[in-house]
Homo-oligomer: A and B are copies of this chain.
């Protein structure tokens, strides 16, 4: 069973009281009511050999990435991080200084966004390094930006450039788009947003499925990162941690012109009522945009 099939099954089993849990599994964060407030909650883990290669990148980069991945999920809801906790499984005989470096990496990742590490659990075992992080956050006063709000006719935009993240090491050094997401939420009406962790093709599929819509992506408009091998990599590589968002089309031109906080914004396509996700080539030919991005479970 693949990761996403298991998540679908879990969602099918989940019955939540929407007054207590307005958003459950299946978005970038869950939303839980605390007193009169909405609280964002997200959890993500970094596993040695899957999401990182500890021997190559070192322990501090592992800690930083574990925190930054979660902060990217907070950004995807246009949230402000509040606090984090971590569970760390250390290999037996892990050097003390390396354990401390993991903590310092977590701290560095969080401190950059005023997200303190407020607690944790440390275990030692015969297995490899596993770092799980949970981040709490607060949505904007307008509420969290979900995956499910995209509407036909919306412009689809991305921040930054895509592809080649893993090969070039950008997956270890990326800046979660917390500030950019807040600026976007303040500047325009965001209908839907997601962070690009699984690759544009797959993450766009998530947005379309949750919103009950489709999309057309213009091949020439996809911002291909210099580190990427080409368009396919930009569509599929994943670990970009850029934002993909849908908004009323009237605002897209100004965003493309101005970017957001110095980060380029590119309109890559349009949300359609027809539910297919299609890639449109310069010669007018069309092909289904099949998700074949990063799935850790495969």
Task: Report which A residues bind B (CB closer than 8 A).
Answer: 1, 3, 6-7, 9-10, 13-14, 16-17, 20-21, 24-25, 29-30, 32, 34-37, 39, 41-45, 47-51, 82-83, 85-87, 89-90, 96, 99-100, 103, 107, 116-128, 130, 132, 134, 136, 138, 296-297
Are the CB atoms of B37 and A117 closer together than 8 Å? no
Partner pick for A34 among B21, B37, B49, CB 8 A cutoff:
B37
Closest CB in chain B relative to A46 CB, distance in Å: 9
A89 and B131 alpha carbons, distance in the complex (Å): 10
Partner pick for A1 among B17, B86, B96, B126, CB 8 A cutoff:
B96
Closest CB in chain B relative to A66 CB, distance in Å: 10
CB closest chain-B residue, reference A35: B37
Are the CB atoms of B297 and A123 closer together than 8 Å? yes
Are the CB atoms of B122 and A32 closer together than 8 Å? no
A86 and B118 alpha carbons, distance in the complex (Å): 17
A132 and B134 alpha carbons, distance in the complex (Å): 10
Partner pick for A123 among B50, B120, B124, CB 8 A cutoff:
B50
- Given A25-B118, A34-B82, A118-B24, does the pair A47, B123 have CB atoms closer than 8 Å? yes
